Amino acid sequence: MFKWFSFIGLLMVAGLLAGCLPSPVHTGGRLTPLQTLVPQPAFRSAPPVAVHNPWKPDALPRDWRYIVLHHTASSAGSIESVHEAHIGRGWDGIGYHFLIGNGNGMGDGEIQPTFRWREQIHGAHAKSPNNEYNEHGIGICLVGNFEETQPSAAQLSSVKRLVGVLKNEYRLTAGQVIGHRDVKATACPGKNFPIGEISQTAVFSVLAGQPGNYVTGLPSEFQIVTVERSNVR
């Protein structure tokens, strides 16, 4: 028994000498500032790239902080039909800033801005207690019911192009591109709507040497790419 106590005592001395036991002595080394360990936004502070924006309104820009995505939850729709439906709800016209057709009432992938976009006024599409998302959210609605079907390839291409250009123009991050269901209890824009993929769309100048997939409809010197979420803010 005595031998065991001696053995444990020797082990503790050896441990202290080796520095593997807790020591109350401060080493005096400099601590690393926490912020140097946190990745800083890479794209947020970068100036917007010069992308042709066919939707640039004449009115002074509003303080846009979000892009809120919706579906009509119907198989067909147009600016006129949604406008009439929303007036029927007592609103002052179509509540969205953009509507993207599915070939049933509007062209497949056709993007139409509404009076709210042209005049840069608030939306009526994403009610919340403080009305933050109607006041500062660009409402984009795709015709279709994406609880039941998928957006068409043309609609996906168009919404990516629109979101990419708007993100660039208003310095919005992927996290600021949300679905209606992120604001209130609703299925909109439907379980088959790929919000994550769309939110990560960004525009880059080809001249800057960025790789990516060309999406038709942009001037040839520009392209839209979908990049990893960690690289897009």
Nearest distance from C-beta of residue 46 to Zn ion, angstroms: 31
Measured CA to CA, the distance from residue 175 to residue 230 in angstroms comes to: 11
Interface region with Zn ion, contact rule CB under 5 A, candidates 23-31, 52-60, 112-120, 177-185: 177-185
Total residues contacting Zn ion (rule CB under 5 A)?
A: 3
Find out whether 69 and 179 touch, Cβ atoms under 8 Å. Answer: yes
- Pick from 96, 180, 200, 224: which binds Zn ion (CB under 5 A)? 180
Q: Which of 51, 64, 70, 172 binds Zn ion (CB under 5 A)?
A: 70
> Nearest approach, Cβ of 124 to Zn ion (angstroms)?
11
Number of helices and strands in the chain (H, E): 6, 7
The least CB distance from residue 228 to Zn ion, in Å, is 28
Based on the shown chain and the rule CB under 5 A, indicate whether residue 83 belongs to the binding site for Zn ion.
no
140 beta partners:
69, 98
Pick between residue 174 and residue 188 the one whose CB is nearest to Zn ion.
188
**Between residues 140 and 203, which has the closer beta carbon with respect to Zn ion?**
140
Amino acid at 83: H
Of 188, 183, 187, 223, whose CA–CA distance to 206 is shortest?
A: 223
8 Å CB contact between 224 and 201: yes
Name 214's Cβ contacts closer than 8 Å, sequence gap at least 6: 223, 224
Cβ proximity to Zn ion, 127 vs 229, nearer residue: 127
Output the six-digit token pair for 219.
């001037």
Position among 67, 99, 172, 188 found at the interface with Zn ion (CB under 5 A):
188
In the complex, the residues that contact Zn ion under the rule CB under 5 A are 70, 180, 188
